[in-house]
Amino acid sequence: MIRIEGISKEFKEGIGSKRVKAVEDLTLEVHKGEVFGFLGPNGAGKSTTIKVLINLIYPDKGECWINGKDVRERETRRHVGYLPENPFFYDYLTAEELLWFGGKASGMSSAAIKERTDELLTKVNLQSARKRQLRTYSKGMVQRAGLALALIHDPEVAIFDEPMSGLDPIGRKMVGDLIMELKGQGKTVFFSSHILSDIERFCDRVGIIVGGKLRVVDRVDSLLSGGTTLEDIFLKEVEKAGGGAAV
């Protein structure tokens, strides 16, 4: 469902001419029905990779496909739901209006939007706050509204950038339950994190990115089968990379 082939991306650092490699020659495949965790320290290149994957930024080289379609094709967006790391919306909208906007932008009928909105706001525990403006929401509530927006059109692929960010334990459990529900429906879930416990609990496979380079790709159960912890593997890769920051 997701295929990334040899992508690289550089950015200028400040106003000088120095360029920093955010992602370097990254190749990866994620299969249908799989929950894939994209693990890395802060600044490792996770968000850059995701932004290239959903065509928010262009790679210097390499290509990406979702559901067999080049991510640069407009049709690809119908198959994808995306939650950014720090979602920002028009704060005068209510949650109900936000999902209406998202549904209409996705070509859904009014009846389908209403039904899906009721379902999702219940799942993310925002039903009682659905008519409140987003400016009155806490950070965690905005995160949950963004999660509902990402799923309004019932996408085949869900891409979440740090979906647990800003959530309390109840919110974290809710997101985890939703991820597993998507998996049960045969959806593909790709999410980034630097929280090891989230990867261990929810993911079939994990990719560890450090310093812009993909260092490890394997099944979680295989990595843990020899008594080695995911933390040990992660810290070893960060140490080998000399700290692990890219951009």
Average pLDDT over residues 16-32: 90
What band does 31 get if pLDDT is binned at 50, 70 and 90?
very high
141 inside domain: no
211 inside domain: yes
What Rg value do the Cα atoms of the chain yield, rounded? 18
Q: How far apart are CA 18 and CA 247, in angstroms?
A: 13
pLDDT at 243: 64
pLDDT in tens, 79-121: 999 999 888 899 999 999 999 999 999 999 999 999 999 999 9
Average pLDDT over residues 165-181: 89
Strand partners, 23: 9
Looking at this protein, which amino acid is placed at residue 225? Answer: S
What band does 238 get if pLDDT is binned at 50, 70 and 90?
very high
51 inside domain: yes
Tokens at residue 8, please? 């690289």
105 inside domain: no
pLDDT at 203: 96
pLDDT at 247: 45
User: Which residues span the domain enclosing 29?
Assistant: 2-85+156-240
47 inside domain: yes
| CATH number, domain containing residue 184 | 3.40.50.300
> How many domains are contained in the chain?
1
pTM summary value: 0.92
Q: Please list the alpha-helical segments (H only) found in 26-109.
A: 46-53, 95-105
pLDDT in tens, 193-225: 888 888 999 999 999 999 999 999 999 999 998
Average pLDDT over residues 173-186: 94
pLDDT at 207: 97
90 inside domain: no
